[in-house]
Structure formats: C-alpha cells, structure tokens
Amino acid sequence: MTPKAPTDWFHEDFFRVPVIAVLRGLSPDEAVRRATRAWDAGVEHVEVTIETPDAVPSLAAVASAATERGVAVGAGTIIDPEQLVAATAANASFTVSPGLDDAVVAESIRRGLPHLPGVATASEILRARAYGLSWLKAFPASVLGPDWVKAMKGPFPGTQFVATGGMSVATASTYLAAGVSVVGLSSDFASDEGAVAVREFLGAAAETADRGALRRA
C-alpha cells in the first residue's frame, strides 16, 4: 500500500489567502504578467497548468519570477507520474490534479512533492484520506456547487477544499461561505480591472475574518 503523505504538506498557514490564481494556456510572458497581477492583488500562490509539454516553459518562467517574491507556484493538470518530472524540473513547489490518481499520489509521496488531488465524490474523499491527504481540490466546483461543499463538510469536517473550475471573484464569497478554504480564480487576472476586483475582495474577506476572530475572542 502507498505510504501516507506527510501531514505538513499543506500546513495550516500555507493557504493563508483564500484565493489561488490558476493560469492555463498562456505564453511564458503572459503567464508572468498575470501572475504578477495576482501577486500585486494580494494572492500568494499561483498554479500554472501543464497539460501539454509546451506549457512547461510558462510554469518555469512563473516559478522563476516567484522566487524573487518568496511565494510558491504549483504545477496543475497533473494526470500521470511522468508530469511530476517536468514539474520538479520547472521548480514547482506543489502539484494539482483534476482527479485522484493512485500512481500520481504514490510518486508525489516518493518525491516529497506536495500534491492536491481533485475530488467530486465522497468515495474519492475517503480514498484521499486513506493516503493522509486533508487538502483536496473540489473540481469542477462550478458544476458541483456550494451545496456539495456543505454536504461534504458534514462527514468530513477536517477536509479543506480548494474550489476550482468555473470560479470568478463574483461567486467566490458564496463558496467560501459554504465551507471552501480557497477559491481558484483565472480570468480575473486577464486585466488590471479584474485584479483590482480581486484585491478588493481579499480586503473585504480579511475584514470579515477579523470580525469573526473578535467575536470568538
């Protein structure tokens, strides 16, 4: 049986900001441009998908830019173990998958490379928990909906969900209120105006969190 993943892969404050930028199908220059917009808006983590080998240079470019800021960049759309080789070579700090693949999880554990698998059913969550994984990607989140998150948080209260797939800053608060820990945004970083909207959203989310902390104190 595959050994369990380290419990500190995604430690409590790894995803301190409730938004991750997901960049797909972009040239290296455009990927860095959008990643920079995300970082300037207050987003800490960026995911660059590498569904094809042609996308790996974009991941490497963003990872290089991230080094100067001291932030983490993940490689997305990992569906086979061979992609982990490319992700490691491009200096990805973690990987993300649209599904839960046993071989990918096993190789991630062997490499010590934090992995965020995608789930869409209770059975997949149970499989992920058997590997020691508590941070999971709810995908496709726009299809699953916020009610799915509420339903899954009942039997799996210790599971942290990152909702990606069809998300926007306009719908992000609904998913966070349903129990999602992080929302993956993409098209919002295509323009300066979109990035400003994300910055304002994160500011409002921080104020809400602060008020909640005061009430609990």
Q: Which residues are catalytic?
A: 47, 137
How far is residue 94's CA from residue 47's CA, in Å, rounded to a whole number? 9
* Cis peptide bond upstream of 57, omega within 30: no
* Cis peptide bond upstream of 3, omega within 30: no
Residues 103, 73 contacting (CB under 8 angstroms): no
61-82 burial, b at 16+ Cβ within 10 Å, e below that, comes to bbbebbeeeebbbbbbbbeebe
In the structure encoding, which two tokens stand for residue 12, read together? 């409590």
The total of other beta-carbon atoms located within 10 Å of residue 179's CB is 20
How far is residue 162's CA from residue 134's CA, in Å, rounded to a whole number? 11
Looking at the DSSP bridge assignments, the partners of residue 82 are none
What's the distance, CA 80 to chain centroid? 18
Residues 49, 19 contacting (CB under 8 angstroms): no
> CA quadruple 167, 39, 45, 204: dihedral positive or negative?
negative
